Amino acid sequence: MATITAPGTTEKLSRSTTASRASARRGRKVRDNLTGHLFLLGAVLCFALFTWYPMIRGIIMSFQKTKRGVTTWVGLDNYTRIVADPSFWPAWRNTVYFTLLALIIGYAVPFFVAILLNELRHAKGYLRVLVYLPVMLPPASALFLFKFYAYDPSDAGLFNAVLKALHLPTSQWMQSPTATMPAMVIASTWMNMGGAVLIYLASLQNIPGELYEAAELDGAGLWRRIWNVTIPQTKLILGLLAMMQIVATMQVFIEPLILANGAGTQDSATTVAYLIYQHGFYQNDLNGAAALGVITLVALAAFSAVYLRLTTKND
């Protein structure tokens, strides 16, 4: 455009065009940046309002107390109160126990299911749909199913009927403090394993067949092939999903709420997430809940740091 509007001698033309081109380029750069940020605006505002700002606000809130509309700084008061809650340590114990059980059941089971499905050459689509189906159910629906039908403590319950038919001892399930956690992990695994199975399946399909062939020629049996080929080849995804699973199990909330009516018998179902909910929205202690949130975040960050240090060192 600038070249057309700048007629004249050749000397003049070249000088004026470079000048106007430079300014046009600068103008366009500013304009491009402006449109770029305009396109970002909606998402950035939502992030600022609903994640970045609440993160800072949560930390500030954990050191404050609001009484009759007046906010004051109270130092570590909220922290000492939350730690002194008789449910504090049981909640952590239960959450860690849930996470460990979920690692044994909810983490190993999908991996072996994926290995199994990868070997089968028929009914592939059907089996995949089956495994993922529970993931699509609203958790409230699925958990009511478990609560009333599967974990019915009488012999009419699905699990007890099966146990009885097999001549095994029946259980009180959610009414028994020792059975509560395993029962919650089983329900949670059934509900959520589909996603992990499909992700494992995708990464199993990327393993070159020659590796298995070479291992077989070297005389490696089935388990050795899993141990020396399958697991090292899927290490990255195994590590990633372990991390995701731990973050997810730290937030177990709806399972205790629905299956165990909250805390369960003798605090057997209280989790950290449930305790945050309990303090914030039941006891109207938002500051205490914010303090527990900060404690959780710090614990998780410390864990992640250790985990990353350990896993990257091995490489």
Site for other proteins in 112-141 (CB under 8 A): 115-123, 126-134, 136-141
Residue 137 host element (H or E): none
Question: How far apart, in whole angstroms, are the C-alpha atoms of residue 158 and residue 172?
Answer: 12
Q: Quick check: 61 and 287 in contact, CB under 8 A? A: yes
**Exposed / middle / buried, residue 82 (Cβ in 10 Å: 0-12, 13-18, 19+):** buried
Nearer to other proteins, 179 or 243 (CB): 243
Question: How far apart, in whole angstroms, are the C-alpha atoms of residue 136 and residue 143?
Answer: 13
Considering only 237, 262, 265, 307, the residue that binds other proteins (CB under 8 A) is 237
Nearer to other proteins, 101 or 187 (CB): 187
Instruction: Give how far Cα 59 sits from Cα of 54, 79, 108, Å.
Output: 8, 11, 36
**The two structure tokens encoding residue 219:** 């005389």
Please report, as a single letter, which amino acid is at residue 69: G
Stretch that binds other proteins, among 83-91, 97-105, 173-181, 284-292 (CB under 8 A): 284-292
Nearer to other proteins, 181 or 215 (CB): 215
Q: Which of residues 296-315 bind other proteins (CB under 8 A)?
A: 296-297, 300, 304
Closest CA to 193 of 131, 253, 238: 131
> What are the backbone dihedrals phi and psi of residue 269, each rounded to the nearest 5 degrees, phi first?
-115, -5
Q: Which of residues 47-66 bind other proteins (CB under 8 A)?
A: 47, 49-55, 57-58, 61
Q: Judged by CB under 8 A, does residue 276 bind other proteins?
A: yes
Considering only 83, 164, 168, 305, the residue that binds other proteins (CB under 8 A) is 164
Q: Which of residues 96-115 bind other proteins (CB under 8 A)?
A: 115
Q: Judged by CB under 8 A, does residue 283 bind other proteins?
A: no
Q: Judged by CB under 8 A, does residue 172 bind other proteins?
A: no
Q: Judged by CB under 8 A, does residue 206 bind other proteins?
A: yes
> What are the backbone dihedrals phi and psi of residue 16, each rounded to the nearest 5 degrees, phi first?
-65, -35
**The two structure tokens encoding residue 77:** 């008061």
Instruction: Give the count of residues interacting with other proteins (CB under 8 A).
Output: 110
Considering only 5, 9, 10, 154, the residue that binds other proteins (CB under 8 A) is 154
Q: Judged by CB under 8 A, does residue 221 bind other proteins?
A: no
Q: Judged by CB under 8 A, does residue 263 bind other proteins?
A: no
Q: What's the per-residue H, E or C state across 257-310?
A: HHHCCCCCHHHCCCCHHHHHHHHHHHCCCHHHHHHHHHHHHHHHHHHHHHHHHH
Closest approach of other proteins to the CB of residue 8, in Å: 27
Question: How far apart, in whole angstroms, are the C-alpha atoms of residue 146 and residue 161?
Answer: 14
Q: Judged by CB under 8 A, does residue 145 bind other proteins?
A: yes
Nearer to other proteins, 16 or 58 (CB): 58
Stretch that binds other proteins, among 7-15, 67-75, 99-107, 201-209 (CB under 8 A): 201-209
Considering only 174, 190, 256, 278, the residue that binds other proteins (CB under 8 A) is 190
Question: How far apart, in whole angstroms, are the C-alpha atoms of residue 258 and residue 262?
Answer: 7
Considering only 250, 260, 263, 269, the residue that binds other proteins (CB under 8 A) is 250
Question: How far apart, in whole angstroms, are the C-alpha atoms of residue 123 and residue 66?
Answer: 60
Closest CA to 185 of 128, 289, 255: 255
Closest approach of other proteins to the CB of residue 9, in Å: 30
Q: Judged by CB under 8 A, does residue 77 bind other proteins?
A: no
Q: Judged by CB under 8 A, does residue 240 bind other proteins?
A: yes
